[in-house]
Structure 1
Amino acid sequence: MFNLRRLEVLRELKHRGTLAAVATAMSYSPSAVSQQLTLLESEVGAPLLERDGRRVRLTPQAEILVAHTETVLRQLDRAQAEIAASLQEITGTLRMAAFQTAMLTLVPAALTWLRDTHPAVRVEITQAEPDTALPALLARDVDLVIDETFPGHVSPARATALSHRVLREDPMRLAVRDTAVSSLSDLVERPWVMEPVGTPARQWAVSLCHEAGFEPDVAFESADMLVHARLAAGGHAVALLPDLLWCDRAPDVTLLDLASTQRRTILATVRTAAGDHPLVHTALAALRHAVEQVAATVGRHMGNDIR
């Protein structure tokens, strides 16, 4: 019979790519990781790793083992959820990851609700963009991810082992200082601020400009939406800003309404097998409460500032 802990080491290598990363994640030394994999190879009776330059890759036999290990871990997720549901009190630690604007707006409201309604629940949160957070969810580093998708752009990090709950459809609006601007076509020669190359937000923004018939002049690049808003307010750049950004203040830029389809979708994503865990249900309830509260505040702050 195979040793489950050794199977988990092999699975971690599949997800993390290097022995050093596995050692860090599992609090092992690199030599201990190598030893566990060597013992597993002896149990299996076939090579599990092969050299690929300076890295290693899994053999077909190792891929078979990882697939079955994933099945076992999903069953353990379900068992954990059933045991937690059988207890009278909701307790434990929930690990979350959230992208920046959700961290600034939804997370504080959700934490307040949880503190008031479920004081025995501990929440640990890391700020991370979806393309980093979703693999971490699959690797079991976190239990829930607040992530985002943009029209026509689905992250390759998504997997059938994950399930998604829509929290909010968040309009994206053009932010400019010049009130004479009325559409994207008026911005052909303007400098832009966008998120880094390769991110879904950047891909969506560039494709939006391409659809309007021009290549955007991206003079500024930042993953921080507050930087985008500051540059737009100063008249230094055009930005595409989410409504959620105006949770705690009124806009200080002119906001132009795009088509109703130009919205990012804010999601709560969990591993499917853990979706019935009471901690997950509690976190989802907190996030739904936060969305309602924040949406009302955003509406008050934006008022008639959209055209």
Structure 2
Amino acid sequence: MFDLHRLRLLRELKHRGTLAAVAAALSYAPSSVSQQLSQLEAEVGVPLLEPAGRRVRLTEQAEILVAHTEAVLERLERAEADIATSLSDLTGTLRVASFQTAALALVPTALGLLRDRHPQLRVHVTHMEPEKALPALLARDFDLVLAEEYPGNPNPRPSELEQEDLLDDPLRLALPHPADGQDTDGAMAALRSLAGHAWVMEPEGTAARHWAMTLCRNAGFEPDVRFETTDLLLHLRLVEQQHAAAFLPDLVWDGHSPTVTLRQLPRGQRARRISTVVRRGGSRHPAVLACRDALLHAVTLHSGRAEGGTPRTHFERGSAKP
């Protein structure tokens, strides 16, 4: 029988890409990881790694082993959920990753609910954009990730992950100057009117940047992107001080009144979808269920404070294990 620990190292190598990354993530020496994988090769009786420049890649037989390892780990994750369900209260640590606006507008309220209902549960929250957080979820660095999906830019959905929609968060055009009058010319005209202005957008390679660039190009212009950051509060500040135009989600206001002039976007581009994502097999864990319910309740409370995201499902009190 193959050694599960060594199989997990092989799986880590697939998800993290290098022996050094595996060693750093697991606090091992790279030589120790290499030695363990050599021993696994001896157990299996076939080569599992082959050179790829200065790195290594998995052989076909290694990929087969990783697929079976994923199935074993999923079953073990279900066993962990069953054990946790049998206990009288939630304990241990739940590791959550969230992007900025959800972390500011929803996560603190959810944390308060979890603290009141499950005081023995330790929740560790990391601010991380979905582009990095979702691969880290696959690598088992997190248990739950808050992710965003922009119109016309669906996220990849690996079969190893399960996604549950949380809310639709409206997106709006933020003008870098006071409004001249009513928005009578239409969404596309409002967007085109900013063709000559500076813009602030999220960095290249993010889903938000791809969506924003596509939207501007469909309006017939190439935006002059002078500022790049994932910090949407900085986006807002740059608009407030008339340095740049931006696309801002309603969650950025966190229930407060907007401080800049906003315009609607063209139809089909008016909301991003926010969801919670977990590994397949982990959705039954009572800590995950409790966190998802708390986030849904946070959405309900947020929607009650201001006109913003519309909940896609409703919080049901008592649906998490007490």
TM-score bracket, shorter-length normalisation = over 0.9
Aligned letter for 1:229? L
Structure 1 residue 205 corresponds to structure 2 residue 204: no
Aligned letter for 2:215? L
- Provide the residue aligned with 1:173 in structure 2: 172
Take 1:136 and 1:219, find their aligned partners in 2: how far apart are those partners? 30
Q: What does residue range 56-95 of structure 1 map to in structure 2 within 5 Å?
A: 56-95=56-95
Aligned letter for 2:169? D
Deviating above 6 A after TM superposition, structure 1's stretches of 4 or more consecutive aligned residues are: none
* CA-CA distance at 1:250 after TM superposition: 2.2
Structure 1 residue 288 corresponds to structure 2 residue 296: yes
- Provide the residue aligned with 1:53 in structure 2: 53
Q: TM-score, normalised by structure 1?
A: 0.94
Task: Indicate the percent of aligned positions where both proteins have the same amino acid.
Answer: 57
- Provide the residue aligned with 1:303 in structure 2: none
Q: What does residue range 159-170 of structure 1 map to in structure 2 within 5 Å?
A: 159-170=158-169
* CA-CA distance at 1:98 after TM superposition: 0.3
Structure 1 residue 266 corresponds to structure 2 residue 265: no
- Provide the residue aligned with 1:254 in structure 2: 261
Q: TM-score, normalised by structure 2?
A: 0.90
Structure 1 residue 237 corresponds to structure 2 residue 236: no
Q: What does residue range 78-157 of structure 1 map to in structure 2 within 5 Å?
A: 78-156=78-156
Aligned letter for 1:159? P
| 1:178–1:235 Cα contact (<8 Å) kept | no
Take 1:116 and 1:31, find their aligned partners in 2: how far apart are those partners? 46
| 2:153–2:207 Cα contact (<8 Å) kept | yes
| 2:150–2:207 Cα contact (<8 Å) kept | yes
* CA-CA distance at 1:180 after TM superposition: 2.7
| 1:192–1:219 Cα contact (<8 Å) kept | yes
Aligned letter for 2:265? L
| 1:244–1:295 Cα contact (<8 Å) kept | no
- Greater shift, 174-183 or 43-52, is seen at 174-183
Take 1:78 and 1:215, find their aligned partners in 2: how far apart are those partners? 49
The structure that is helix-richer by fraction is: 1
| 2:150–2:273 Cα contact (<8 Å) kept | yes
Take 1:88 and 1:288, find their aligned partners in 2: how far apart are those partners? 23
Provide the aligned C-alpha RMSD in A. 1.4
Take 2:66 and 2:80, find their aligned partners in 1: how far apart are those partners? 21
- Provide the residue aligned with 1:9 in structure 2: 9
- Say which SS state the counterpart of residue 193 (structure 2) adopts: helix
Which residue among 193, 196, 202 is the counterpart of 2:200? 193
| 2:166–2:296 Cα contact (<8 Å) kept | yes
Q: For structure 2, list consecutive stretches of 5 or more residues without a partner in the other structure.
A: 184-189, 309-322
- Greater shift, 226-235 or 177-186, is seen at 177-186
Aligned letter for 1:160? S
Take 2:229 and 2:36, find their aligned partners in 1: how far apart are those partners? 42
Q: Can you list the C-alpha shifts for 1:192-228, whole angstroms capped at 9, x where unaligned?
A: 1110011100110111111111111112111110111
Take 1:54 and 1:228, find their aligned partners in 2: how far apart are those partners? 40
| 1:243–1:298 Cα contact (<8 Å) kept | no
* CA-CA distance at 1:77 after TM superposition: 0.9
